[in-house]
Structure 1
Amino acid sequence: MASTPDLSNSQAEHDNPDINRNYDGSTQTIPGATMGRHTAFQLAGQHMITNLERLESINPSSGAMFWKAVLTALGDCADQVEIYTEAALKHGATEDEILAVINHASSFAGTPRAVNTMRRIAGTLASARQFERPRETVVRLRDHDTLIREYSPGAAGTPIILIHALSMDGRMFTEVAPSLTSAGRVITYDLRGHGYARGAPLTTSLDHLVDDLKQLVDILDIEKADVYGASYGGAVAQYFTLAHPSRVRSLCTMATSAQGHPLLATRATRAEEGHMQELVAEAIIRWFLPETIALNPWFVRYARANVEQVRVEEWAAAWRAMAALDCLHRIPEISVPILVLAGKQDASATPEHMKPIYQESPNGTYVELDPGTHMMVMEQPEAVANALLNFRKVVDEKC
């Protein structure tokens, strides 16, 4: 094992925390933000420093996030923690990503240090916040817990329920939901097998997910809602409207169709055969524009992480449920207003797949976004929010 330079503090270093020893043992006066590097070297040597500096040059936010974890573990580094928080935010890290780093660090640093870190950076996070933080509540359904996020929970009028895509969770509406609060209360929740509801008994069908949603609206005492779903969530929204028409005032299907395909079930089989890494890459390429993937913004990182961390059995169950989607022939039964929101660049639910819903609907509206991708909720949030608000306004006038 390579020898480690003597990094013990001299009296001068004790009196001036901005004096830091270099990795060769010499000293220089540098801002206290180097404390994370100092500690990382003590933990794992120059090899870690070299690799992390390389990471910083490629993705500055990732480097800043790592140093934050080190400082959380070290404790008593308030100024340095704030410096790295500001750096991470500057380079595109989200509040949720920063909180996740602290949560992970707490497992080896301990809860008190994690709490102290949170207290120190709370003001920095609040001042940088661009969107309203929702009220989060854990709700117990029949056989599992889920997490609901409520925006403007006390608002009057018909609530909007947003249902997320396969592999995502309610956080995919981070930039859309706050924009909808001008119309009233907005609710997201995590579907069985996703987000907070991971580990629930496996999904057996779309009807199974409808039963979950029915119990949720009963628990929340929601008599009638505007139900808007994206992709997998759009399939659930259609089935829910058909099963419980009296509980739905309007319906929106985003980036979804009304007819499944056997190809979708192969994604389940391939995952079970050990090809999950291939599926991660395919999903990201299918969901976003190439130039967006190259920029790697928060929602691409979020989507990729969700797929990488998925349990294969939950992924497979969800895709088999989606493959069995079959309600196009029943769309004429839906009398409430329907918005069919398609994306011109959507490689999964193409406009050709979505137009039949509008064509079969007795009260439908078709809107096609350009640009508009499969994950338009995240990639084109402003356009999506505007389309939903315009639709909601029309529904309010009709009802």
Structure 2
Amino acid sequence: MPKVKINDIDLFYDIKGTGEPLLLIAGFLCDHAYWSLIMPSLISEYQVIRIDNRGMGRSSASESQYSIKQMAGDVAAFLDFIGIDKVHLAGHSMGGQIAQELALAYPKKIQSLMLLSSLAKGDQLFNSIIETWGTLLNHVDLKLYEKILLPWIFTDAFYSITGMIEGLIEFAIKYPFPPTTHSLYHHSRAMLDFDTTDRLEQIHCPTLVLVGKQDILTPLKFSQQLAQGIPNAELVVIDRGGHGFLIESSDAVVSAMLNFLRKLKPAYTNLGF
């Protein structure tokens, strides 16, 4: 799979499907594979582009500090490189922060915006969790790290499925592109430094804000703030699922995304002309 030299990094990307381009940006601790369960539905209608953020998955990064703004700049430069002028854009969690910054800094590149389990600014509880996650891998192995994080990501109902959590932990341990301690640290600090609360009104593209009703990491109030701050944004709450609803409730999530995108198509397209 291809990489491209962008700014000071080698950025990994994956492109599948045909149609209007749809760019997906994953969040903290995740790379492009996090979107895998909803890919079949998306590529049936769109050219889906996934990337690994700097320092995650197969994208490189130096050990120096980096920011959400810098990661948004990586994406903008990547779009220029592949010759795409405008995209539908979706970001999950930290990926939603990157997506907000893209929409603010490069509005002409963004056709629509979907913010999944994301936020404009963390509260004290969120900040404390993310600060800890940024340094925790220095003190525990990856298996224990995952065991500590996953209760914040998935619901009790998901934990009740026999072997599900154990399988996810096993997958993370065996994954050939594990996170590095310095990348987790810099990603966490980028999230903590991020704040768009006073700039949300400057986002003018069609926007969907999507959140799981049982999300305890980025709770409903964060998405309500986004939807209230972004002009004419649509808020959709998925009844079943928490922060990890891309895995736990993938069918409901992709249905909400496609319903939103279909409403943006011209009337003649919807009529089959």
TM-score normalised by length of structure 1: 0.61
1:296 aligned residue (142, 164, 171): 164
1:175 is matched with which residue? 37
In 1, the alpha carbon distance for the partners of 2:180 and 2:262 equals 40
The alpha carbon displacement at 1:305 in A equals 5.5
2:180 is matched with which residue? 311
Change (3 A) 1:377 1:200: farther
The alpha carbon displacement at 1:166 in A equals 0.8
Equivalent pair of 1:143/1:201 in contact (CA under 8 Å): no
In 2, the alpha carbon distance for the partners of 1:253 and 1:355 equals 11
User: Secondary structure of the equivalent of 2:90?
Assistant: strand
In 2, the alpha carbon distance for the partners of 1:280 and 1:182 equals 33
In 2, the alpha carbon distance for the partners of 1:217 and 1:192 equals 15
1:98 is matched with which residue? none
The alpha carbon displacement at 1:143 in A equals 1.8
Which letter does structure 2 place at the counterpart of 1:378?
I
2:6 is matched with which residue? 141
User: Secondary structure of the equivalent of 1:175?
Assistant: helix
The alpha carbon displacement at 1:271 in A equals 4.2
Change (3 A) 1:344 1:254: same
Residues paired across the two proteins, number: 260
1:232 is matched with which residue? 94
In 2, the alpha carbon distance for the partners of 1:176 and 1:210 equals 23
User: Secondary structure of the equivalent of 2:72?
Assistant: helix
Which letter does structure 2 place at the counterpart of 1:228?
A
Equivalent pair of 2:210/2:235 in contact (CA under 8 Å): yes
**Structure that is richer in helix per residue:** 1
Equivalent pair of 1:299/1:378 in contact (CA under 8 Å): no
- Unmatched runs of 5 consecutive residues or more in structure 1: 1-135
Give a deviation string over 1:236-277, Cα, whole Å, max 9, x none. 0001110100100111110111113431223324444x2466
The alpha carbon displacement at 1:176 in A equals 0.9
2:153 is matched with which residue? 287
Q: Which has the higher contact order (CA 8 A, sep 6+)?
A: 2
Which letter does structure 2 place at the counterpart of 1:177?
M
Which letter does structure 2 place at the counterpart of 1:251?
L
1:215 aligned residue (73, 77, 81): 77
Equivalent pair of 1:168/1:303 in contact (CA under 8 Å): no
Equivalent runs, 1:8-27 vs 2, <5 Å: none
1:335 aligned residue (204, 211, 218): 204
1:360 aligned residue (215, 229, 234): 229
The alpha carbon displacement at 1:216 in A equals 0.6
1:108 is matched with which residue? none
- Unmatched runs of 5 consecutive residues or more in structure 2: none
Which letter does structure 1 place at the counterpart of 2:209?
V
Give a deviation string over 1:331-356, Cα, whole Å, max 9, x none. 11111111000001111111112111
What is the root-mean-square deviation of aligned Cα atoms in Å? 2.4
Give a deviation string over 1:147-180, Cα, whole Å, max 9, x none. 211111xx233x1000012111101111112211
Equivalent pair of 1:241/1:334 in contact (CA under 8 Å): yes
User: Secondary structure of the equivalent of 1:161?
Assistant: strand
1:186 to 2:30 alignment: no
Change (3 A) 1:312 1:352: same
Alignment identity in percent?
26
User: Secondary structure of the equivalent of 1:174?
Assistant: helix
Give a deviation string over 1:279-306, Cα, whole Å, max 9, x none. 4322111111244344226555445666
Equivalent pair of 1:193/1:203 in contact (CA under 8 Å): no
Which letter does structure 1 place at the counterpart of 2:15?
E
1:383 to 2:246 alignment: no
Equivalent runs, 1:80-229 vs 2, <5 Å: 136-152=1-17, 155-157=18-20, 159-229=21-91
The alpha carbon displacement at 1:309 in A equals 3.8
Select between 177-186 and 367-376 the one with higher mean Cα deviation.
177-186
